[in-house]
Amino acid sequence: MTVESRSGRTFLQQVVHMQEEDAGIADGVIVDVAELMRGTFEVDMTTVPASGVVSFKGSVNGLVWHALRALDLSAVSETWVTAVTDGSGLFQVDLAGLLKVKAEITIYNSGTITVWGHFWG
């Protein structure tokens, strides 16, 4: 989606269902973020309750994946993470220089895990 500001500058925006109530280990949807600058992963592990680990990963070539450092927006003090364990929340990442990102379920114990990606630039 393209959004135009008052100044006439055009922003790109994507909202992607990256993990759709998955009940198991899964790569999820890989998102092309080549022209975007910032993103927020919205992780929901509240159903049943769910238990597992969602790891945030980025790639500059789409082949080799590295952990992404994300700011936990629900933390009281500044807290940076590369994964979320048995919890829900909003996690903001810098996308500059990345080609693709994913929110991978690396450990699954129970329940359903849902992840939305909100990306803009």
Domains in the chain: how many in total? 1
Asked whether the whole model's pTM tops 0.85, one would answer: yes
- Distance separating the N- and C-terminal Cα atoms of the chain: 11
Domain annotation covers residue 9: no
In this structure, the strands spanning 80-81 and 70-72 are: antiparallel
Domain assignment of residue 41, given as a range: 16-120
Q: What are phi and psi of 50, to 5 degrees?
A: -85, 155
Domain annotation covers residue 11: no
Residue 64: the pLDDT is 97
Domain annotation covers residue 31: yes
Mean pLDDT for back-to-back runs of 10 residues, the chain (121 residues): 58 88 86 95 88 96 97 95 94 97 94 94 89
Domain annotation covers residue 62: yes
CATH number at residue 35: 2.60.120
